[in-house]
Amino acid sequence: MATSPVVENLSTNLDQIFIITRDWLTHFLPAAWRPAVDVVLSVVVIVCVFPGLFALTTVFERKGLGRIQNRLGPNRTGPFGFFQPIADGIKSLTKEDIVPASADGVLHFLAPVILVVAVFMGFAVLPMGRNMVLVDMDAGLLFFFAMGASTELSVFMAGWSSRNKYSLLGAMRAIAQMISYEVVLLLSSVSVVMITGSLRLTKIVDAQNQYSYGLPHWYIFTPWGLAAFIMYAIAATAETNRSPFDLPEGESELVAGYHTEYSGFKFALFFLGEYLAMFSISGLGTTLFLGGWSAPLEVFNVVPSWIWFFGKVMMSIFVFIWMRGTLPRLRQDQLMNFAWKFVLPFTLLDLLVTAMWRFMGEGWLRWVVSTAILAGAYVLMGRVSMYRQHFAPRKYRYAD
């Protein structure tokens, strides 16, 4: 396709606008300082952009949930209620910071700080656009999961140090859930690593940033990739404690779970940490399965790459909100059974299918075989577990 050189030049400049701005800002400095200042600038941008997105998302979430529940949502502060997060921020800053008398002061303080720091670290390896990655690590995916694993400890610290039964119960639930679903999260991304042959996230994006007949080579458009993506999405929802897996904070049972005893800005930090975890896990899902910053059709490559990345992330956030407004909360035993008896076996099967895909070579045969195996297994597992459920008219033990 022939585009005029002016348009092409403009689109390349827009695509690299952040890199160009950064280089312009640092070109006054002596060359020896430049790498360090570059890193500091990128960190500052990450630390500003994602909390900004968080503020925007809280409004969208409350408005979206309101629409789903047939009400208006916040509409008093500013135009259409869009200044609500500012009001919320001022409120949480001016609120008294209450620490329970019997609480473990140091751990109670450290828990939200460690959570936010660990979550922010995950953004370091995410490629957010062409050439837009803070640290292009050889073991980037492993780094991301290592940082994700460290958040579990901060949840435990919060729950245990509060000396409150609801906090402790919430923390225990959260950790049990996070450990169970982390296995799935890791295994579903292993299939991507098997195909790409690298843990480097930029390489994973590059492998998907190819087009045949104008259509992209995203991993979600392959049978194994679709299955792995669905399993990844389930595990990511559970890992971020979002509805329908929001048992750790189930407000009808546990007050607010592990952050029951937090108030003021520490509570705001937990809130921020949860939303940042949502952004980073959506960003990783985008990178692994949805082609990262690559455009959905070859003709759309004129649009800057970072728009695609953030667009895909915000789409995933919208799905999170949609699910929260739609699905009821699971029970603890349902949660565990679902993880260990359905999601994990299916992910393991998907690993086998991925290996087959890798060694069957090009051609239509591998599409047919892997789709047949995955669909057959899905139907079979569903039938067997439905058969075991023994659906019958419900009997109430004490209220007949």
Partner 1 sequence: MGIMFYLIAAITLAGALAAMTLKHLVHAALAVTVAFAGLALFFLNLDAQFAGFAQILVYIGAVAILVVFAILLTRGSELPKDGVFSRTWFVGLPVAAGIFAVLGWAVIASSKALPSDAPTPAVNVHDIGVALVGRYVLPLEILALLLTAATIGAVMVALHEKERAK
The contact set with partner 1 (CB under 8 A) reads: 107, 137-139, 142-143, 145-150, 152-153, 156-157, 160, 168, 172, 175, 179, 182, 197-199
Taking the CA atoms of residue 160, residue 161, residue 162 and residue 165 in that order, the dihedral angle to the nearest 10 degrees is: 20
Q: Residue 270 burial (CB < 10 Å; 0-12/13-18/19+)?
A: buried
Which structure tokens are listed for 336? Answer: 């565990």
Residue 203 vs 329, nearer CB to partner 1: 203
What SS3 class is residue 138?
A: coil
Residue 113 vs 327, nearer CB to partner 1: 113
Q: Smallest distance, Å, CB 85 to partner 1?
A: 32
CA gap 14, 19 in Å, rounded: 10
Residue 8 vs 138, nearer CB to partner 1: 138
CA gap 233, 226 in Å, rounded: 10
CA gap 57, 49 in Å, rounded: 12
Q: Which of 140, 127, 134 is nearest to 41 (CA)?
A: 134
Q: Smallest distance, Å, CB 346 to partner 1?
A: 18
Q: Smallest distance, Å, CB 188 to partner 1?
A: 16
What phi-psi label fits residue 72: left (phi over 0), alpha (psi between -120 and 50 degrees) or beta? Answer: alpha
Q: Smallest distance, Å, CB 343 to partner 1?
A: 17
Which structure tokens are listed for 242? Answer: 């979002």
Computed on alpha carbons and rounded to an integer, the radius of gyration of the chain in Å comes to 23
Q: Smallest distance, Å, CB 94 to partner 1?
A: 32
Q: Smallest distance, Å, CB 324 to partner 1?
A: 27
Residue 159 vs 291, nearer CB to partner 1: 159
Residue 49 vs 355, nearer CB to partner 1: 355
Q: Smallest distance, Å, CB 288 to partner 1?
A: 16
